[in-house]
Amino acid sequence: MPADTKTLRGLLYADSMIPKSFVQELLNRVDIVDVIEGYVSLKRAGSNLVACCPFHSEKSPSFTVSQTKQFYHCFGCGAHGSSIGFLMEHSGMTFVEAVKDLAARAGMQVPESAPDPRGSKSARAAAADSTANEAMDEAATTAELVDVLQHAAQFYKTELKKSERAVAYLKGRGLTGEIAARYGLGYAPASWQGLASTFEHYQSQALVEAGLVVQGDEGKRYDRFRDRIIFPIANQRGQIIGFGGRVMDKSEPKYLNSPETPLFEKGRELYGLVQARQGIRAAGRVIVVEGYMDVVALAQYGVTYAVATLGTATTPWHVQKLLRQTDEVVFCFDGDPAGRRAAWRALENSLEQLQDGKQVKFLFLPDGDDPDSYVRKAGREAFETLIAGALPLSEFGIKALSDPVDMGTAEGRAKFLQGAKPLVKQIAAPMLGLMLRRRIAELGGLSEAELNQHFQIKTEVRPSVPALAARRGRSQPSTVRRMLEGLVASPELGVLIEPDELSSCRAVPIAGEAQSSLDLLSTLLDFYRSAGPLASVGEHFRGTELEHSIAELEVTAVKEELSGLGAEALKVEFLGAWSNLLQKRDEAHKKLLIAEGESSGWTQERKEQLRRLQQRPAALGTPNG
């Protein structure tokens, strides 16, 4: 179907005043087989029915109708949909016309507008209202904090224009007014309550929650940022969620960040990403530096694809976010021991986020230089020459492990291999992992088979996940993809999933699992819980950005039926995938806690969380079948 037609029909669906609840009830009352047989002669083929496709010419039937799932799919031309979709495509009806046609067959009256949900007294409606109210309250709080931070940012920008000292400092660092405006730079005055001049209600709790004001033990308040250059921190939507402040003299701390708030988590955000997006696309890479001033100085000299971590070590969240932006990530560090330790932490937190075709590299600047000083001294061309010579992750990892030992001795090679073991076992990119194992085995004086044996690396497909991949005749999908396919094929499996456990899986970056897939899994579970396992998921998401993804899952569900895979096998597969996901979540959470502990300090809460994770049995959280 042409894209513009899909868009038009999606709009017709969205703009109609027919409630989705009515559409679901209608589809539960009509049988897609009865609808399609009025136009096409169907023949039984196992649990499905088949025919030559009515939407394109063919000699062998590729048009399949699933009576259990209540949708059709053509494996020849890709036509796909519900009873409503069939009438729209075959008879050229609008969405409303198709609904009215089916309603007449079922003896139902089509409502012209959505009923008032407050009129329902059912427990489900009450729960939905409660959830909606909570969501509205949370949204209102978020909106208030965003407004507060935006107002503060404007105040700081205005104060910068008033401060000759601050303007002179930025000019002395080689920055123009254009760059200062692009990054929204500002200045926090030295007074203890400078924000009181712009916020009428300085005692508002929102100022504390936004991290702008500190409340002392005796209830006295004062501005967090004083006499500092201010760098606004924005999320991916461009909303200001926090600030970084830099001193203009030798005072300590050199940098001061907003505390973690409902809007701001240091381990998940990157400074300058919004401004760098266009530059990242143009350059095909992103460079990660350590300071706000480095980002701004590089932009001043034309290196417009730089971002910075926010006073914390690189986390898996950072790597995951960056690899979504581009295929090449270059970490830039000072060449001193501290810089190399930070680089190694970045390497460790990159391993499980790597994908074949993506590159992570490491650049170490000459002693005594940072990106700011180097680009001002040598210029853009020289800096980009350094970038071109950055070490790929595999080379940096091997070099960091081999340089400190004597590779000419058995003892040195044994120590090298011991250090390489966690690197090799954690890397997520299959082909890169294979090549890295071969290189490490060669340097260590082992065969690849010996290395795999000593590192306990299984290179064959694990027998614990055989059924679906083998029957589908394709490579094994990710854990979450297996769960999505199983859920659409058998929606009643959703009751085996604890919502809180799934939420915890979405809260950490899990190796090999896309955040969008986890979000889709949560969305589908919510849908089936509210609408019931017989509901038409494809029709519910018609005209949304999820329509194509749902259609793909429905097609896989048809293939499962054609393969003859039984309900019990699907359940075993689904539970196995769920158990695997929980284990991967725990491992990801451990790594995140360790990364945060090393960068921000080991609080008692972090220690306790790590202890509980380490004591948790591998199968904990697995539902009982």
pLDDT digits (tens, 9 = 90+) for 553-604: 888 777 766 555 567 777 888 888 888 888 888 888 788 878 877 887 888 8
Residue 373 has, within 13 A of its CA and on its CB side, a CA count of: 9
CB neighbour list of residue 92: distance below 8 Å, 6 or more residues apart: none
- Which CATH architecture best describes the domain 3-113? Alpha-Beta Complex (3.90)
Give CA–CA dist 148/140, Å, rounded. Answer: 12
How far is residue 103 CA from its own chain's centroid?
A: 41
- Cβ contact 192:223 at 8 Å: yes
pLDDT greater than 70 at residue 612: yes
Could you report the per-residue pLDDT of 179-235, keeping only the tens digit for each?
A: 999 999 999 999 999 999 999 999 999 999 999 999 987 779 999 999 999 999 998
CB neighbour list of residue 186: distance below 8 Å, 6 or more residues apart: 153, 155, 156, 157, 158, 159, 160, 229, 230, 232
265-384: CATH topology: Dna Topoisomerase Vi A Subunit; Chain: A, domain 2 (3.40.1360)
pLDDT greater than 60 at residue 337: yes
- Name the residue type at position 27: L
* Token pair of 466 as six digits: 């055989």
Could you report the per-residue pLDDT of 457-516, keeping only the tens digit for each?
A: 875 433 333 444 444 444 567 888 888 888 888 888 888 888 888 888 888 888 888 888
Could you report the per-residue pLDDT of 527-553, keeping only the tens digit for each?
A: 888 776 666 787 888 778 888 888 888
- Cβ contact 580:505 at 8 Å: no
Residue 5's pLDDT band, with cuts at 50, 70 and 90, is very low
Q: What is the CATH number of domain 141-264?
A: 3.90.980.10
- Name the residue type at position 90: H
Could you report the per-residue pLDDT of 239-281, keeping only the tens digit for each?
A: 899 999 999 998 899 999 999 998 898 888 999 998 998 899 8
In the chain, which segments carry CATH 3.90.580.10? Answer: 3-113
Which 8-state DSSP code applies to residue 58?
-
pLDDT greater than 70 at residue 402: yes
- Cβ contact 167:160 at 8 Å: yes
- With a pLDDT cut of 90, the percent of the chain lying above it is 39
Give CA–CA dist 115/350, Å, rounded. Answer: 50
3-class SS letters over 285-346? CEEEECCHHHHHHHHHCCCCCEEECCCCCCCHHHHHHHHHHCCEEEEEEECCHHHHHHHHHH
Nearest 10 degrees: CA dihedral of 559, 565, 569, 571?
Answer: 40
In the chain, which segments carry CATH 1.10.860.10? Answer: 468-615
CB neighbour list of residue 378: distance below 8 Å, 6 or more residues apart: none
**pTM for the structure as a whole:** 0.58
* Token pair of 422 as six digits: 């966690």
Q: What is the CATH number of domain 404-454?
A: 1.20.50
**Order of strands, sheet of 71-74, starting from the edge strand that comes earlier in the sequence:** 43-45, 48-51, 63-66, 71-74, 80-81
Three-class SS of residue 360? strand
Residue entry with tokens 């949370």: 138
Residue 624's pLDDT band, with cuts at 50, 70 and 90, is very low
In the chain, which segments carry CATH 3.40.1360.10? Answer: 265-384
Whether the bond between 253 and the residue before it is cis, its omega within 30 degrees of 0, is yes
Instruction: Report the pLDDT value the prediction gives residue 428, as an integer from 0 to 100.
Output: 84
Sort strands 328-334 and 286-289 into parallel, antiparallel or unpaired.
parallel
Q: How far is CA 312 from CA 248, 266, 509, in A?
A: 21, 7, 17
Instruction: Report the pLDDT value the prediction gives residue 525, as an integer from 0 to 100.
Output: 87
- Cβ contact 528:553 at 8 Å: no
Could you report the per-residue pLDDT of 74-100, keeping only the tens digit for each?
A: 888 788 888 998 988 877 677 888 888
Top-ranked range on mean pLDDT: pick from 14-18, 131-135, 460-464, 496-500:
496-500
pLDDT greater than 50 at residue 172: yes
Q: Hey, what long-range contacts does 124-132 have (CB within 8 A, 24 or more apart)?
A: 124/530, 128/530
Instruction: Report the pLDDT value the prediction gives residue 159, as an integer from 0 to 100.
Output: 97
Q: What is the mean pLDDT of the chain?
A: 83
Give CA–CA dist 554/529, Å, rounded. Answer: 18
3-class SS letters over 440-504? HHHHHCCCHHHHHHHCCCCCCCCCCCCHHHHHHCCCCCCHHHHHHHHHHHCHHHHHHCCHHHHHH
Residue entry with tokens 């090549």: 435
Give CA–CA dist 252/68, Å, rounded. Answer: 67
Give CA–CA dist 197/10, Å, rounded. Answer: 50
Could you report the per-residue pLDDT of 20-76, keeping only the tens digit for each?
A: 888 887 887 788 888 998 888 888 887 788 999 988 777 888 898 987 778 898 888
Three-class SS of residue 51? strand
Give the DSSP H or E segment for 214: strand 213-215
Give the DSSP H or E segment for 186: strand 186-188
In the chain, which segments carry CATH 3.90.980.10? Answer: 141-264
- Cβ contact 484:560 at 8 Å: no
How far is residue 484 CA from its own chain's centroid?
A: 17
Residue 46 has phi, psi (to 5 degrees) of 70, -130
Instruction: Report the pLDDT value the prediction gives residue 7, as an integer from 0 to 100.
Output: 38
* Token pair of 470 as six digits: 């083998």
Angle, CA 70 vertex, CA 69 and CA 74 arms, to 5°: 95
Of the listed ranges 104-118, 371-385, 545-559, the least confidently predicted one is: 104-118
Residue entry with tokens 């396992």: 533
Q: Of residues 624 and 305, which shows the higher confidence score?
A: 305
Among candidate residues 532, 529, 531, 504, the one with its CA nearest the CA of residue 518: 504
CB neighbour list of residue 217: distance below 8 Å, 6 or more residues apart: none
Instruction: Report the pLDDT value the prediction gives residue 617, as an integer from 0 to 100.
Output: 57
262-296 per-residue burial string, b: 16 or more CB within 10 A, e: under 16: ebbebbbbbbbbbbbbebbeebebbbbbbbbbbbb
CA 134, 135, 138, 140 dihedral sign is negative
Give the DSSP H or E segment for 222: strand 221-223
Instruction: Report the pLDDT value the prediction gives residue 117, as an integer from 0 to 100.
Output: 45
- Name the residue type at position 131: T
Give CA–CA dist 498/503, Å, rounded. Answer: 9
Which 8-state DSSP code applies to residue 271?
B
Among candidate residues 348, 576, 562, 591, the one with its CA nearest the CA of residue 473: 562
What CATH class is the domain 468-615? mainly alpha
Instruction: Report the pLDDT value the prediction gives residue 12, as an integer from 0 to 100.
Output: 41
Angle, CA 323 vertex, CA 321 and CA 327 arms, to 5°: 155
Q: How far is CA 539 from CA 24, 107, 175, 353, 552, in A?
A: 8, 20, 54, 34, 13
176: left (phi over 0), alpha (psi -120 to 50) or beta: beta
N-term to C-term CA, the chain: 41
Residue entry with tokens 């796909």: 80
pLDDT greater than 70 at residue 128: no
